[in-house]
Amino acid sequence: MKNKHMRSTLIVGRIFAWLALSLIVSGCATTGTLSEEEMAAAALLEAEQTMEAGDAAARRGDFEQALVLYLKAVSAEETSERWFRIGAICTRLDRTNRAIQSYLRAIELDPMHAGAREAVGLEYLDLEDEDAARTHLTAALELEPDRWRAHNGLGVLADRRQDYAAAIEHYEAALATNAESPMLLNNMGYSRYLAGDLDQAARDFFRATELNADYAPAWGNLGLIYARRAWYTDALSILIRVRDLPVAYNDVGSIALRNGDVVEAEQLLSEAVRLSPTYYEVAHRNLELARARMGRQTGGTDPRISRVP
């Protein structure tokens, strides 16, 4: 009986304690409402936390989730930086139109946002809208002269209009900021090649391979320059690093044909056909030209040196 009485007393005490706590909480709820300023501050804090969560998702490669979080944050408050990050994620997801719209909204909110200017300029460059690309890339450099991607983009535009001196100046400016970029060295070598400076182009390509021994565009371009110099064995040994065997033999053989070295061209192109007798039509056509001894007049199908946008 004593134990039963003590247990009943304990239960009643707990009930009164719960009722007291409920009254306290209820009182706080009715008298402690947030002001409009406090609610706005809380919403901004939540948006910042959402952006941070989006950044974390982007860092781990979950770009879809990052985009969802960024859009949620920008719906709470529009800022140029938030729209810029949305654009950057859309670029990563290859959603070009949405990326451009996001960058342009960032620029509308802040015309001095150099990152958005550069990014939308590069999108227009990919779309070959050269006027829009030039306008935004130039604006980005006026705001921040050290933006190497903008310099690279303007270098590509200069190459397209065959202003190789201007292109090289832009690549050199980009390299002053990003000296360890094999892509920039490759692009500068491309401009020198088109300008006819094969020696300096070869040095640029070789420097690019020193920075990154696996950088295929520079190896491929270096091999083609060696072929232009009629160093066919060396050219072939370089190209087989980055090309399938029949492609490498065809590329060197076609340049030999253009060089007028018909015997070497026939040997190289015959090997290309032997390695890929059914599918490699380009090698067949070049071989027919070589065998017809028309290399000096027709030239064959010349493999192109490559630049990276």
CATH code of residue 108: 1.25.40.10
Please state the rounded mean pLDDT for residues 179-193: 97
Q: Flag whether pLDDT at 1 surpasses 50.
A: no
More reliable by pLDDT, 300 or 103: 103
| Residue 281 buriedness (CB in 10 A; 0-12 / 13-18 / 19+) | exposed
* pLDDT at residue 41, as a whole number: 74
* pLDDT at residue 2, as a whole number: 39
* pLDDT at residue 116, as a whole number: 98
Question: Which residue, 219, 214, 271, is CA-closest to 247?
Answer: 271
239 is a domain residue: yes
The Cα 250–Cα 283 span in angstroms is 5
* pLDDT at residue 95, as a whole number: 97
Q: What is the DSSP code string of 255-274?
A: HHHHHT-HHHHHHHHHHHHH
* pLDDT at residue 108, as a whole number: 98
Q: Which of 93, 123, 145 is the last residue of a domain?
A: 145
Report the alpha-carbon angle 62-64-67, nearest 5. 110
* pLDDT at residue 204, as a whole number: 98
Please state the rounded mean pLDDT for residues 100-115: 98
pLDDT tens digits along 202-211: 999 999 999 9
* pLDDT at residue 45, as a whole number: 83
pLDDT tens digits along 236-262: 999 999 999 999 999 999 999 999 999
The Cα 249–Cα 131 span in angstroms is 40
Structural domain count, the chain: 2
94 is a domain residue: yes
* Whether 141 and 232 share a structural domain: no
* pLDDT at residue 279, as a whole number: 59
* pLDDT at residue 79, as a whole number: 96
Range with the poorest average pLDDT among 29-38, 121-130, 138-147, 292-301: 292-301
The conformation of residue 65, written as its DSSP 8-state character, comes to H
The conformation of residue 71, written as its DSSP 8-state character, comes to H
Q: Flag whether pLDDT at 170 surpasses 50.
A: yes
User: Which residue in the block uniquely carries the two structure tokens 């070009």?
Assistant: 96
Greatest mean pLDDT range, 13-27, 45-59, 221-235: 221-235
141 is a domain residue: yes
More reliable by pLDDT, 248 or 289: 248
Please state the rounded mean pLDDT for residues 90-115: 98
Q: Which of 87, 112, 145 is the last residue of a domain?
A: 145
Looking up residue 219, the CATH number of its domain turns out to be 1.25.40
115 is a domain residue: yes
The whole domain housing 256 covers 215-309
Which stretches of 161-261 are DSSP H helices? 164-177, 182-194, 198-211, 216-228, 232-239, 245-259
35 is a domain residue: no
8 is a domain residue: no
Mean residue pLDDT of the chain comes to 86
185 is a domain residue: no
The Cα 181–Cα 201 span in angstroms is 16
Range with the poorest average pLDDT among 40-49, 182-191, 218-227, 234-243: 40-49
Please state the rounded mean pLDDT for residues 120-131: 98
More reliable by pLDDT, 188 or 2: 188
Q: Note the pTM of the prediction, 2 decimals.
A: 0.79
Q: Which of 127, 145, 163 is the last residue of a domain?
A: 145
4 is a domain residue: no
